[in-house]
C-alpha cells in the first residue's frame, strides 16, 4: 500500500546540486527553481531542497483513500500542493520527516513512476 | 544506468524505528540487528541506521562495470559487504553521502527489486 516515492536531501545550492546529479549520475530534471529541484534517477526520484524552505524528508506514495485514513489517524489536514499532489508530513520516532503523498490521477505534472 | 536503490535514515533506536515503519506503513523486515535494519516498502527499500555505526545516505544502484568506472573516477577502492553487495561512498556538493551499490548476480541475500 505504501511505496517509496522519493527522498529529499538538504542542499545548500540547488543549481550546484542539480549539476552534480545530472553530470555524475545522469539524473533528469523534472523541476527546478532556486529553493528546490525534483530529479528522476532511473525509476526513482530524488529531490534537492533548501532546508530553510522545504524540510528534508522521505516520501511514501499511497492511494488517496489511504492518505485520508492516515490523515485522520495523525489528526492532520491534507495539504494540496501546487503540482497537484496531496499529502501530509509526519515524524518517525527519531524525528525524521516522512511525507505521505498521493498523486490524484491526471492532476499532477509529475508522472507516477 | 543509475537507479534509486534505498535511503538510510538516522535512527536512535533501531527496534523502535522498525516497529514504527512496520505498524504504520506495512514495511517488511529484510534484515535487522541492533545497529541497522533494512526494510521493504512496496517496490522500494528503506534502511534505518545508527549514525555512529553506519552513515545515513542515499544509495544508487548501478552495474558492476559502472561501479568500477565510478570507483576509478573517484579514486576509491570498492568495498565488498557481508551481504554480497559491492559499493563505494561518495559525497555530493552539500555533503550528503551517496552510496553507489551493485548487486552481483546470485551473491546477495537481498533481492534486486
* CB atoms A10 and B42 under 8 Å: no
Give the closest residue to B59 by CA, choosing from B110, B111, B7. Answer: B7
Please identify among residues 57-96 of chain B the ones whose CB lies closer than 8 Å to any CB of chain A. Answer: 58, 60-61, 92-94, 96
- Among B8, B50, B92, B97, pick the best mutation site for testing chain A contact (most A Cβ within 10 A): B92
Q: Mean pLDDT across the stretch A35-59? A: 95
Q: Determine how many CB atoms are found less than 10 A away from the CB of residue B95.
A: 10
pTM of the model: 0.89
Cell numbers placing B88: 563505494
* ipTM (interface predicted TM): 0.88
Please provide the DSSP assignment of A58-76 as one string: EEEE--HHHHHHHHHHHT-
* CB atoms B96 and A7 under 8 Å: no
Q: Determine how many CB atoms are found less than 10 A away from the CB of residue A42.
A: 18
Q: B66-81 pLDDT, tens per residue?
A: 999 999 999 999 999 8
Q: What are the residues facing B9 on neighbouring strands?
A: B48
Amino acid at each position: 500500500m505504501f511505496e517509496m516515492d522519493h527522498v529529499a536531501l538538504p542542499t545548500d545550492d540547488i543549481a550546484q546540486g542539480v549539476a552534480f546529479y545530472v553530470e555524475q549520475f545522469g539524473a533528469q530534471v523534472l523541476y527546478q527553481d532556486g529553493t528546490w529541484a525534483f530529479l528522476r534517477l532511473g525509476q526513482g526520484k530524488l529531490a534537492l531542497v533548501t532546508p530553510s524552505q522545504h524540510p528534508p524528508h522521505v516520501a511514501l506514495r499511497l492511494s488517496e483513500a489511504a492518505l485520508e485514513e492516515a490523515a485522520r489517524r495523525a489528526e492532520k489536514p491534507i495539504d494540496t500542493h501546487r503540482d497537484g499532489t496531496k499529502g501530509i508530513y509526519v515524524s518517525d520516532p527519531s524525528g525524521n520527516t516522512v511525507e505521505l503523498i498521493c498523486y490524484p490521477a491526471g492532476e499532477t505534472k509529475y508522472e507516477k513512476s
